[in-house]
Amino acid sequence: MKIVKHISIFIALLFIASACTKYVDFDPKENYEITADVYFNAAADYEAAVVGAYDPLQWMYLDILIGDIASDNSFSGGESATDVIGLQHIDDMVHNPNNDNLTSIWKWLYEGVNRTNYLVENKDKLDFDTKEALYGEVYFLRAYYYFELVKFFGDVVLVTDHRLTASDSKTLQRVPKSEVYAQIETDLLNAISVLPSAQSQKGRVTKFAAQALLGKVYLFQDKFSDAATTLENVIGVYSLVDNYGDQFLRAGENGPESVFEVQFTNTSNWWDWGYTPQGTEGNFGVIHNGPRAFSGPVYASGWSFNIPTQDLVDSYEAGDSRKDATILDIVAFADATGATYAEGYKHTGYYNNKYIPRAGESGAQTELNYLTNYRSIRYADVLLMAAEAFNRSGLDDGKAQDYLNQVRARAFGDEDHKILLTGSALTEAIWAERNFELAMEGHRFFDLVRTGQAAAKISGFVSGKNEVFPIPQQEIDISGLTQNVGY
Amino acid sequence: MKLSFFTKNAKLLFLLLFVFSAFFASAQAQKTVSGVVISSDDNLPLPGASIVLKGTSIGTMTNIDGEFSFEVPVDATTIEISYVGYEKVEVELTGQPLYISLNVLANSLDEFVVVGYGTQKITKVSGSVSVVGKKEIENLHPVRTEEALQGMASGVNVISSGSPGATPTVLIRGIPSYTGTNPLVVIDGVTQTLEDLNALNPADIESMNVLKDAALTAIYGVSGGNGVIVVKTKSGDRNVKTSFTYSSSYGIQQVTKTIDVLNASEYAAILNEASVAAGGNLIFPNLNALGLGTNWQEEVFQEAPISSNNITASGGSENSSFFLSAGYLAQDGVVGGGDKSYFNRANLTANFNTSLSDKLTFILNTSYANIAGKSLSENNIGSVLSNALNFDPTVSPYAPDGSFGVSSTITQEIKNPLALINDTYNLGKTNKLFGKLELQYDVLDNFKITSRFGYTYVDVYGKNFNPLVWYGDGHNSTTAHQDLSPIVTVDPVSGDETSTHNRISESNTNYFSFTYEMYGNYNFNINQTHFFETIAGFSIGKNTGSNITANAQDVPYNSWEYADVSSATGDAESQTAGSWQYESRNLSYFGRVNYDYLEKYLFSFTGRVDGSTSFGQNNKFAFFPSASLGWVASSEEFFNFPAISYLKFRGSYGAVGNDNINPQYARISTFPKYTFDGNIVSGSTLQSIPNYDVTWENQIQFNAGFDIRLFSDKITLNADYFVKTVNDLLFNPTLSLYLGTPEYPSSNIGKTKSSGIDLSVSYADTFGQDLKLNTSVNFTTSTNVVEEINNGDKFIWGAGYGIPYTLLTRFEEGYSPGYFYGYKTDGIFQNQAEVDAHAYQTGAQPGDIRYVDINHDGTINDSDRTKIGDPFPDFTIGWSLTLNYKNFDFNVFTYASIGGDIYRAYERNLNYTNRYAGILDRWTGEGTSDTEPRVTFIDSNNNRRASDYYVEDGSFAKIKNIQVGYTLPNALIERAGFDHLRIYAQVKNAFTFTNYSGYDPEISSGVLDTGIDRGSYPQPRVWLVGLSVKF
């Protein structure tokens, strides 16, 4: 009977073991992981989530490159005809729905939208003093991301109440861009009503930034009177810096002309190519614009993308200080300094001097960490938008001339270059001025489309098609979205 | 107790024999026969061998020293000597003391194989198992144990890299999943991982069995889906005197092949042509002075030594036994040499086993390994070999002043490979302790309880130093001036100084895992006809890992000697730290019943229940059952084929799992950051979304096979056919892009099917007295198909190559896993008319590659990509041949892998980087070439896109091992006090027969990254000499 005893001990042990099935339950706290169900229980959680919502602003280097490459301002460049093929296709206006760069833009902008929506979804979980003003930033950011989406893709998927989860996959469709614009306006008006005029931290959204963006959004819808009234709020709040070129240097960042500026720094010690641009705090766009195989003073070597065309160079009037500030004539520079460089694809001899690798301005993995901020909305832009709004609305050509000429006076350093035209001639002058002032800052293509000049100015541009970019094929395949006309 | 039972019987037998012989002694005239019986395997004495006078029942047994002595009639001429597991021999009596050496019986029917939680007599096994013994392992002298499985075990595919110490890809029976294809490794009953085999000294291994079908792996449940490698390490025998062995080998490794790239003159001519074709000027106006230039491959390859030394002691007394071993292996890299690339491993093993009482046995196995290594980047565009293949051949290795030569035209990624080797500084050190404590309690003769605690503790230290480097002014990897001083710049406006820095990183990672298991084995029979072996038990386990990493900058003097976080002088802001940790736990119950009817009809049933922290909340426990049947036809009375000595049919069916999921929860990531006021501010976002229903991959496996022995066991053949299906493959579903970039949870939405045949045939024979032959062939084939992926896309991407990164491999519905995806080429456009006649192909000109319009839509675009290759072989064959003639032994092992493709992906394709020499046959005008496109700096057709232009047949046959050994005659060595002394010479990777143009067609870094040659590290040829001694 000894065996019975042994077997019963054995079975008893089995039962003891089976009692501890809790042993295989997992609590994320064991790995020090914060989970969604315990989050948003302190103001600091909200503040952190807002920082997270700003983050995708730093990923938008492609949007900015394409703003000029797709236009008549610059060529794709790069090392060869196959270097970043998505940009090469866009330069040649032969882009199609299978474009990795456009897919990235789409995905990253929607990550921005979703991060703001996650805050909106959790807005009522906790009350704290600074909450309303904080949500002003959230609404601004959501408007910013949607505006970028509409500019690129026209009609897009619109969600405003929650962060999308797996169950939302393949359930949504595009809505007309007018609806998206309406939401953008609502968000910006809400933001304006709660945002402060000034923020203690440079880089945070202010009420004026929201008004400037709203004015721009109106302008893109040809709502000229609304644009005029809205932008008028911002006039006089900022000022133009004396020397045009200074504001694009490191010392000129967040200066008196800066209305909204996307912030970067070279201190994040980022080395990982695989998670760029999301991981780094540096501006990944800058290395693209750098002179190829450069060795010499002031600048640093880069990838020779986004190279200004001879036409852009030739368009400037004599005496316009903006020409040299906008465009680096590498041939002349090399002659003067003994610097050396190599010629990349579609070499023109010019580089984008506004966003260019400058020696010593990066850190860690040099290509990934340029500190250069992106001047998203400058006061000069506001003045020119206001001028256009007052002119095209028919409200006040005088005011339009005034704003236009403020910009020109700074550019030429004198009062001898005033434009005193009216009506559509003034409109044409303002449009031209916009490019002298804003060339190589990522605005040109969208301005040309908005003002109906794209077909005339961009070779290969097909009217009725190229005003917007194609919805990524991957998204169409997965989600069954409709494609834009012509793609 | 079994032992005492046998001892008692032996005593009785002795007594009987004694009485018996005494009886005869009185009847006849007698003479004394004496001698010693040893094993030819290791020249150790065989105690208990039976000696019988032929044709009589007169006999005796050898004593503890293998000696025997007994009386026989004077006219006796022949005795027969037999011993379990050894070939029976007849010896003529000479009147002299006899010295009898027995050969190990190949694939003995009396053999026991180690299976999960026990051993089983091989004749009773109805599942599918491949066995690799210590003899095979000793022959191969593998650096890593897995090498010994390649071609030696049917059903197993091993794809190795030549890089010192690298973990190979091991696939047991196909590719049912795209994640976690590593088999489970069980060392002396303790579950470990494939990575853990790097710490095992191959010289310590007694046997290595590969459990292949559900009948044998289901006892490991959710971990058994990829097959199980069961390793048994050596242990001492009781009641034998201590024996020592020492073995030593030294070898030289060399690379036998270089890739044909352009020499300086060819390079210059091609560049000139490419530039002119793009409307530019001649790059090299004068070609005459260039000559051959620098062959960078010859600059980086070196002959490198490999050496190995092992010493063991084993033995035992009446109540205990031990095995002690110490080993040291040192392997330098053939790329860059031993300063920058090596793998050194020191091993200490102590296996000890003792009887605490006559019912209680205690086993203590402890192994320690210390591994140190340095490595150079490999199989990527930044690797030394990739740089050697792409760098400018017109540049000299060194400038006149002794500094490294630089290129003025290649200014991104690719650099002087010698400078790259020089600038690579890293060190990895691993300390590992693993083993078990085990108690076996014999409740009854046939009922045993085992209680076992197995553990693995690993401590990994890593250091990596990125010094300030100079690859020429304007090179985008340059971080210093030519004198290696940092580049300091001053902001013209603010006056702020910015400088480049060197960087140092150190990390410490710890892993600890344990398994506690308790199980009982109860064996019984009914009427000596129905035999049962049963087992039941449970197991709990835990795996943990944690890491701390610190980074700093400004190491003094930019020097490796001072490279340490503690010495770095960078400011506090530049010092960063990070950490991670994980823990998983599991709880399991298992049981098995084996039944046989007189070893004629076999049946087994196995089940395991697994619970794991990794499983979703709604699926905490999984059940894995399996069953098998066997029929030993040759035991039937009606079976009457004299040629067939043994025939068994086997079949099994069951479920096993694949444990490749992570705990599910909605994670808030604090990684997102933004910059305010120039300072980085941490933010947060929802990072992962859970799926509480997610469950392990459940594999259904079917196996059918037979084992046959012919012509008195001279030929044995094992054959198996298997089918594995997975109906709930884990996948990250492809979700709408408008969800943004968080991690979405895996779902069980895929289906795969693998089927194949494993075959092994062996033939052993003796010709005359002196010549023995032993040969075996292993054949492995499997067909893998992804049957279904419900993720929307119906595929996921695997690996890619190059800059810009081009994705190449796919795991896609309707295709084999990891196949190459790209454009199909259709020759070269010879003239404009051909371009015009073809589907619209952006930028195509005469001389460019014509791509096939797969979907016939009149345009060549991404939708025209298709399957262009499959890196996995159709089948592999291993053939081993061993000959023994007198004291000489000879072994050849050949391995062939047929039908796999290789993608040539090492070209950087910058205008100024070097090219594969195939380009010399390029198109230069109508009719000049239909395979190689024109050269031009403006590749408007994108001839460099992923296409079958780069796909080559990677089939190969390698003579992996040739070895000749000589065992010194005993008469000679006994005087020196040795029992056995063998010297040998060996060549590993002696010859490779392949059409592949690269170094080595064996390329793998995981299932979805197989066959992409980015400048992969070749397996060197190794010339070795060695000796082994026993005393």
φ, ψ (nearest 5 deg) of residue A137: -65, -40
State the CB neighbour count (10 A cutoff) for residue B599: 15
Residue B804 forms contact with A (CB below 8 Å): yes
Q: 3-state DSSP call for residue A230?
A: helix
Tens-digit pLDDT profile for residues A245-290: 999 999 899 999 999 999 999 888 787 877 889 999 999 999 999 9
C-alpha distance across the termini of chain B, in Å:
33
Q: Chain-centre distance of CA B663, in angstroms? A: 28
* Contact assessment for residue B823 and residue B946, using Cβ atoms and an 8 Å cutoff: yes
**Interior CA angle at A135 toward A131 and A140, to 5°?**
160
Residue numbers of B between 160 and 199 with CB closer than 8 Å to A: none
Which pLDDT belongs to residue B19?
43
Higher pLDDT residue, A80 or A189? A189
pLDDT digits (tens, 9 = 90+) for B918-973: 999 999 999 999 999 999 988 888 898 999 999 999 999 999 889 898 888 877 77
Q: Check CB contact of B680 with chain A, cutoff 8 Å.
A: yes
Q: Does B733 touch chain A (CB under 8 A)?
A: yes
Q: What percent of chain B has pLDDT over 70?
A: 96
- Model confidence over B141-151: pLDDT tens digits? 787 888 888 88
Using a CB-CB distance cutoff of 8 angstroms, which residues of chain A are in contact with residue B805?
Answer: none
Report the pLDDT value the prediction gives residue B492, as an integer from 0 to 100: 65
Q: What is the CA radius of gyration of chain A?
A: 26
pLDDT (0 to 100) of residue A6: 57
Can you tell me the distance from the alpha carbon of B564 to that of B863, in angstroms, rounded to the nearest whole number? 51
What residue ranges in A322-370 does DSSP mark as E strands? 327-329, 350-352
> Region B335-354: what's the mean pLDDT?
89
Kindly give, in sequence order, each residue whose CB lies less than 8 Å from that of residue A336, ignoring residues fewer than 6 positions away: none
Q: Per-residue confidence at A110, pLDDT binned at 50, 70, 90?
A: very high
Question: What rounded mean pLDDT belongs to chain B?
Answer: 86
Question: A51 and B672: CB-CB below 8 Å?
Answer: yes
Instruction: Write the pLDDT tens digit of every residue in A450-485.
Output: 999 999 999 999 999 999 999 998 899 888 999 999
Sign of CA dihedral B688, B689, B692, B694: negative
CB contact under 8 A, A166 and B745: yes
**CATH number of this structure's domain B2-102, picked from the four choices 3.40.309.10, 2.60.40.1120, 3.30.420.40, 3.30.830.10:** 2.60.40.1120
Residue B843, chain A, CB below 8 Å: the answer is yes
Q: How far apart are CA B1002 and CA B1011, in angstroms?
A: 7
For residue A340, the chain B residues in CB contact (below 8 A) are 473-474
B516-540 residue pLDDT tens: 999 999 999 888 889 999 999 999 9
- The confidence band for A2, taking pLDDT boundaries of 50, 70 and 90, is low
Instruction: Write the DSSP symbol of residue B636.
Output: S
Please list the residues that pair with B531 across neighbouring strands. Answer: B525, B596
The 3-state DSSP composition of chain B as helix, strand, coil percent (nearest 5) reads 15, 50, 40
Residue found by looking up tokens 């026989």 in the block:
B72
Cβ pair B473:A295 closer than 8 A? yes
The Cα of B214 is separated from the nearest Cα of chain A by a number of Å equal to 24
The single-letter code of the amino acid at B885 is: Y
Give the three-class secondary structure for B527. coil
Which carries the bigger pLDDT value, residue A316 or residue B730?
A316
Nearest CA-CA partner of A72 in A286, A344, A314, A360: A314
- Residue A306: the pLDDT is 96
Interface touch B675/A264, C-beta < 8 Å: yes
For residue A449, give the nearest of A431, A429, A471, A425 by alpha carbon: A431
Contacts 24+ apart (CB under 8 A), B773-777: B773/B881, B773/B882, B773/B883, B773/B884, B774/B106, B774/B881, B774/B882, B774/B883, B774/B884, B775/B879, B775/B880, B775/B881, B775/B882, B776/B879, B776/B880, B777/B877, B777/B878, B777/B879, B777/B880
Q: Has residue B122 got a pLDDT over 90? A: no
Query: Which of A149-153, A275-279, B976-980 ranks highest by mean pLDDT?
Result: A149-153
* pLDDT bracket for residue B21 (50, 70, 90): very low
Higher pLDDT: B841 or B181? It is B841
Maximum Cα interatomic distance, chain B, rounded to a whole number of Å: 121
B747-805 per-position pLDDT tens digit: 888 888 889 999 999 898 888 778 888 899 999 898 888 888 877 778 888 888 887 78
> CB B498 to CB A85 under 8 A?
no
Of B498, B793, B843, the CB nearest to A81: B843
* C-beta separation of A389 from A231 below 8 A: yes
pLDDT at B127: 86
Whether B574 contacts chain A with CB within 8 A: yes
Q: Which residues of B touch A57 (CB under 8 A)?
A: 674
Taking only the tens place, the pLDDT of each residue in A62-89 is: 999 999 999 999 999 998 887 888 999 9
Hey, is B338 helix, strand or coil?
A: coil
Put simply, whether B666 touches A (Cβ < 8 Å) is yes
User: Looking at this protein, which amino acid is placed at residue B619?
Assistant: N
Residues from chain B that touch A475, judged by Cβ atoms under 8 A, are 736-738
The predicted model gives B407-424 an average pLDDT of 89
- Beta-strand pair B118-121/B59-61: unpaired
B767-771, B821-825, B987-991: least confidently modelled range: B767-771
ipTM of the complex: 0.93
Are the C-beta atoms of residues B719 and B780 closer than 8 Å to each other? no
Specify the range with the lowest mean pLDDT, choosing from B59-63, B159-163, B699-703.
Answer: B159-163
| DSSP state for residue B48 in the 8-state scheme | T
pLDDT, average across residues B1020-1024:
91
